[in-house]
Chains A and B, each alone.
Chain A
Amino acid sequence: MKYMPKIIFIIGAAALLGTFLAPIWRITLEAPQYPQGVTMYIWINKLDGAERGTLQNINILNHYVGMKMIEPESIPELKYFPKIIIGMAVMGVLFGFINNKKLWLTWGIALILLGMLGIYDFYLWEYDYGHNLAPDAPIKVPGMAYQPPLFGTKMLLNFNAISYPHYGSIFIGIAMIFSFLAFFLKKKQEAR
């Protein structure tokens, strides 16, 4: 019982590594010609699709409206986000062993801030892809932008774009919840 908060905190910190096991976000495009939809997965370290070739397919569709090619190699976040996640996990496990609830709280708040920054960064990318269109694109609809929603659904011409967090985000959620849970449990323990 005495070690419970510490164990919870360490499990939570280690759970961050779970983000390498599943995508953290999912964007699906639906249209009559795509009865199964075209689904792109955003991982902490890569982009891929429900099928081989999905990215190529999305890029071909997007070029009509003059959108930039989505090229995973040119997205630096995919390189440094994994480092941040691993860094946070290692730091978290370390803090767990140090067994200091203030460090835990700091870690938890830092994680939330990083998460918010990540989502803001994701929004900026979406904004850039959706608005930064080639001026001589084959299809130009005045006033139309093609930014997929951050969270929810939105019609983009013939496509219904659906965007929601995916399984990988659960691990980040666990890490956040466990860090605060550990903090409060420990606080309660020490008050006794």
Chain B
Amino acid sequence: MKSMKLILMSLTLGSVFLFSGCGNGDGKGTGAIGSSGAAEKVYVAPGELDEYYQFFSGGFSGQVTVHGLPSGRLLKTIPVFATDGEKGYGFNEETKPMLMTTFGFVPWDDAHHPKLSQTNGEHDGNFLFINGNNTPRVARIDLTTFETTEIIQIPNTAGLHGSPYPTQNSEYLVAGTRFSVPIPQEDVSIDTYKENFKGTFTFISGGQEPGKMDIAFQILVPGYDYDLATSGKGPSHGWTFFTSYNVEQENTLKEKYASQYDKDYIAAVNWKKAEEYIAQGKFKEWPAEYYHNFYNDKTHTATATKKSGVKVLIPAECPGLVYYLPTPKSPHGVDVNPTGELIVGSGKLSADLTVHSFAKMLAAIEAESFDQEIDGIPVLNFEAIVAGTVASGGLGPLHTEFDGRGNAYTSFFISSEIVKWSTETFEVLDRIPSYYSIGHLSIPGGGSMKPWENGKYMISMNKITKDRYLPTGPELAHSAQLYDISGDKMELLLDFPTMGEPHYAQGILASKIIDRQVKFFPLEENEHTYKTLNEKDTRVERDGNEVHIYATMIRSHFAPDNIEGVKVGDKVYFHVTNLEQDWDVPHGLAIMGAQNAELLIMPGQTETLLWEPLTPGIFPFYCSDFCSALHQEMQGYVRVSPADSDVKLSWKLGDEGSGN
């Protein structure tokens, strides 16, 4: 067995080298300006709109980027788990609470899997969810504003990779722990892994209810590495599947020691059963602390709420809750086809794909075809549940999506290609290279029950770009490739660089999103504590060493724009309301020496920048968004006097103003 692994390893490494060595040239010009009219297919004329929104995770950028398809044009970067100076996200007083955790303010994360909310197994265009891998969190992005509006921290979890994978009606978002750790956390020797380390699966409720995300329950499972997840649909609705590796339960040199067993497990969780056990009170109340952060679009302010306690289900005490499906070679992705019957496990060290049958799984459970039981979790007999194997001819399968026409598309990292196969015959139908080392792939709607337009496009996300673009020093862009999959043969249409490291992306027909766009925030609905709705109400107030500036902005001035009486040692709060009521007229606020960022305030919105001047003098501030013909004139001054000065607080705009 060991020698088998070694051969495989050397093979995989060899092919990586092989590929980087001679892969150049392949696919250059294929498609993009080929005879098939690829250029025409991706050309979106000036002034025309794309057909799809495609949401890419930013990976280590911690953000989400929004592109249009088929053009690949970048439309927006949405800050999620990382601070963003451009938008003041995590810098202004309103959004700082979004990044609060029990570890304190955590201004960075590793964003992995953007997943659209679902209704009846179809993407409804309401929300986008994404997980933060490093400091376990799940975020909600509201698709009316394209802003992050909610983040919930996941307790008893370390490394949140297998998430958020919503259920058919977004009843739950799910989360599996990538790193097993002592649960609850304790100070033990790392070598006591097998004895003390555990894993959890978390079910998060409130997917369709803004502000209501909560930890519904957690399931305590053996201490493996839980990798990816997917929730069932149609017949398999009510079940969620999590892949695992390191069934070996090793805690060092995992690359080798965690690759020893021939099979690891896909955990099948019956969450409807879990709901029954919860209703029956068969859970344990465990101490756990976590934050729930919610941004309110009326107060334009986020609140961070610390919560404690979770309901935990133990499989040994809850028969029928979790089953293990043996799956070869450290499976990475697990994907369920649109009919809900096939569960595709991608053994990442394998050449083959293992496809389990949901119907066979139920029959095996019924017949109790169990090979063994681990901590009360029955391990189903492999032969009893497998529907077929795809002899792919590739190496290193990772992820599979579906076109809704009976075809599956699997990404192969090591052999750097996409293989198309039939979900009826399990035969390979076509294969096409990716440039290079593809991770995830995405068919708009391909993870749901209804791929859009019967699977017209497919996107690959690639880790290595080497010679694909103009070089930019040691760090090169990651890339996405767009394929036309409407015909029998896959066809490469377009190749574009992406932001950060997109792990996954999901696409939705633009028409599902366009009509719900918020263009500006009505001033009469502004409920911000420090709002100023009229220039007449602008003022400056002192409260001890806090100075509160109630300011407004329109094209092309701030009110007030001359402020005196601020002293060194003061905490100066600029509460600025953008009085515009027009689409696409944000204004910015930038202050010389501010140690945080700018404010970028949308029409009708109020935001607050804290500024702590360190030296006396005159400090200009200005609008940082070229808003109007007299944008350059949109500026003002603050006079900062020594701490012991007796300069009175005063402010003005033109002839208007006062002091006290």
Spell out A's residues near B (CB within 8 Å).
51-54, 56-57, 60-61, 63-64, 138-139
**Complex Cα distance A52/B526, Å?**
14
| Residues A53 and B522 in contact, CB atoms below 8 Å apart | yes
Inter-chain contacts of A63 with B (CB < 8 A)? 554
> In the complex, which residues 430-485 of chain B have their Cβ closer than 8 Å to any Cβ of chain A?
none
- Given contact pairs A51-B519, A138-B556, A56 touches B630 in the complex (Cβ within 8 A): no
State the CA gap A61–B603 with chains docked (Å).
14
- Please name all residues of chain A whose beta carbon is closer than 8 Å to the beta carbon of B603 when the two chains form the complex: 53
Query: Would B581 and A138 count as touching, CB distance under 8 A?
Result: no
Residue pair B629, A52 in contact (C-beta under 8 Å): no
Task: Please provide the chain B residues from 568 to 610 with a CB less than 8 Å away from any CB of chain A in the complex.
Answer: 579-582, 603-604
On whether the beta carbons of A53 and B556 are closer than 8 Å, the reply is no
User: For chain B residues 517-546, which have a beta carbon within 8 Å of chain A?
Assistant: 519-520, 522-523
Give the residues in chain B near A56, CB-CB below 8 Å. Answer: 523, 579-582
Beyond A138-B556, A138-B630, is A60–B580 a contact (Cβ under 8 Å)?
A: yes
| Nearest CB of A to B586, in Å | 14
B residues sitting closer than 8 Å to A (CB atoms) are 519-520, 522-523, 554-556, 579-582, 603-604, 629-630, 633
Report whether B582 and A64 are in contact in the complex, using a CB–CB cutoff of 8 Å: no
Determine whether the beta carbon of A54 is less than 8 Å from that of B581: yes
A54 nearest in chain B by CB position: B581
Chain B residues near A60 (CB-CB < 8 A): 554-555, 579-580, 582
Other-chain contact of A57, B581, B629, B630 (Cβ < 8 Å): B581
Closest residue to A60 on the B side, CB-wise?
B554
Q: Which chain A positions have C-beta within 8 A of B555?
A: 60-61, 64
- Give 5 closest A-B pairs by Cβ, nearest first: A53-B581, A56-B581, A57-B582, A60-B554, A52-B522
Give chain B nearest CB distance to A47 CB in angstroms: 14
Expressed in whole angstroms, the Cα–Cα distance for A57 and B556 within the complex equals 13
A139 and B555 CA atoms in complex are apart in Å by: 13
Give Cα A33 to B139, complex, Å.
35
CA distance A52 to B521 in the complex (A): 10
Across-interface contacts of B554 in A (CB, < 8 A) = 60, 63
In whole angstroms, what is the CA distance A148 to B134 when docked? Answer: 60
Complex Cα gap A138–B580 (Å): 18
Cα of A60 to Cα of B580 in the assembled complex, Å: 8
CB-based nearest A residue for B603: A53
Q: Is the CB of B630 within 8 A of A53?
A: no
Contact A57:B580 (CB < 8 A) given known A64-B630, A138-B556? yes
Q: Give Cα A56–Cα B519 distance, bound, in whole angstroms.
A: 15
- The answer to whether A52 touches B581, judged by C-beta atoms less than 8 angstroms apart, is yes
CB neighbours (8 Å) of A64 from chain B are 555, 629-630
Could you write out 23 A-B pairs with CB less than 8 Å apart? Answer: A51-B519, A52-B522, A53-B520, A53-B522, A53-B523, A53-B603, A53-B604, A56-B523, A56-B579, A56-B580, A56-B581, A57-B580, A57-B581, A57-B582, A60-B555, A60-B579, A60-B580, A60-B582, A61-B555, A63-B554, A64-B555, A64-B630, A138-B633
* B contact residues around A139 at 8 Å (CB): 629
- Smallest distance from the beta carbon of A61 to chain B beta carbons, Å? 8
Q: Please give the distance in Å from A10's CB to the nearest CB on chain B.
A: 40
| Closest B residue, CB atoms, query A34 | B582
Rounded to whole angstroms, the CA-CA distance of A53 and B584 in the bound complex is 13
Q: Which residues from chain A contact B519 at a C-beta distance below 8 Å?
A: 51
Known: A53-B604, A138-B556. 9 other contacts (CB 8 A): A52-B581, A53-B522, A53-B523, A54-B581, A56-B581, A57-B580, A57-B581, A57-B582, A60-B555
Distance in angstroms between the alpha carbons of A86 and B614 in the assembled complex: 66
Give chain B nearest CB distance to A189 CB in angstroms.
55
Contacts of B522 in A (CB 8 A): 52-53
Question: How many Å from the CB of A53 to the closest CB on chain B?
Answer: 2
Give the one of B522, B555, B581, B630 with max A CB within 10 A: B581
Nearest B residue to A57, CB-CB? B582
**A52 to chain B: which residues have CB within 8 Å?**
522, 581
Minimum Cβ distance to chain B for residue A46 (Å) = 15
Min CB distance, B88 to chain A, in Å? Answer: 23
Residue of A nearest to B581 (CB): A53
Complex Cα distance, B535 from A56, in Å, reads 13
Taking the closest CB of chain A, its distance from the CB of B440, in whole angstroms, is 37
| B629 and A53 contact, CB distance less than 8 A | no
* Least CB distance, B60 to chain A, in whole angstroms: 37
Contacts of A61 in B (CB 8 A): 555
Of chain A, the residue at the smallest CB distance from B582 is A57
Give the residue name and chain of the A residue nearest to B584 (CB): A33
| Distance of A138 Cα from B630 Cα, bound (Å) | 8
CB closest residue in chain A, given B633 = A138
Query: Which residues of chain A come closer than 8 Å to B580, judged between CB atoms?
Result: 56-57, 60
Taking the closest CB of chain B, its distance from the CB of A37, in whole angstroms, is 12
Closest CB of chain B to A78's CB: distance in Å?
A: 19
How far, in angstroms, from A53 to B603 measured CA to CA in the complex? 10
Max count, chain B CB within 10 A of own CB: residue among A51, A53, A64, A139: A53
CB distance from B522 to the nearest CB of A (A): 5
Q: How far does the Cβ of B618 sit from chain A's closest Cβ, in whole Å? A: 24
Residue among B555, B582, B604 with most chain A CB within 10 A: B582
A162 to B556, CA, bound (A): 26
- Whole-angstrom distance between the alpha carbons of A54 and B630 in the complex? 21
- In this complex, what residue of B is CB-closest to A59? B554
- A residues near B556, Cβ cutoff 8 Å: 138
**Bound-complex Cα distance A135 to B347 (A):** 77
How distant is the Cα of A57 from the Cα of B520 in the complex, in angstroms? 12
Interchain CA distance A138-B221 in the complex, whole Å: 69
Q: How far is the CB of A126 from chain B (nearest CB, A)?
A: 23
CB B533 to nearest CB in A, in angstroms, measures 10
CB distance from B604 to the nearest CB of A (A): 8
Report the minimal beta-carbon distance from B285 to chain A, rounded to whole angstroms: 48
Q: Which chain A residues border B629 with CB–CB below 8 Å?
A: 64, 139
Choose among B519, B523, B555, B633 the residue with the greatest number of A CB atoms under 10 Å from its CB: B555
Q: Kindly state the separation between the CA atoms of A61 and B585 in the bound complex, as whole angstroms.
A: 12
Which residue of chain B has its CB nearest to the CB of A63? B554
Cβ distance A127 to chain B, nearest Cβ, rounded Å: 26
- Least CB distance from B452 to A in Å reads 28
Q: How far is the CA of A66 from the CA of B580 in the complex (A)?
A: 18
Q: What separation, in Å, do the CA atoms of A54 and B522 have in the docked complex?
A: 11
Cβ contacts under 8 Å, B523 to chain A:
53, 56
Shortest beta-carbon distance, B144 to chain A, in Å? 15
Rounded to whole angstroms, the CA-CA distance of A75 and B579 in the bound complex is 23
In the complex, what residue of chain B is closest to A136 when comparing beta carbons? B654
Question: How far apart sit A139 and B582, CA to CA, in the bound complex (Å)?
Answer: 21
Q: Which residue of A lies closest to B580 (CB)?
A: A60
CB distance from B322 to the nearest CB of A (A): 52
A51 to B604, CA, bound (A): 14
Q: Nearest-CB distance from A34 to chain B (Å)?
A: 9
Cα separation A53 to B582 with both chains bound (whole Å): 7
Measured between alpha carbons, how far is A5 from B582 in the docked complex, in Å? 50
**A51 CA / B520 CA spacing, docked (Å):** 10
Task: Tell me how far the C-beta of B592 lies from the nearest C-beta in chain A, rounded to whole angstroms.
Answer: 25
What's the Cα separation between A138 and B633 when bound, in Å? 10
Q: How far is the CA of A61 from the CA of B582 in the complex (A)?
A: 11
Find the B residue at minimum CB distance from A138: B630
- B658 smallest CB distance to A (angstroms): 21
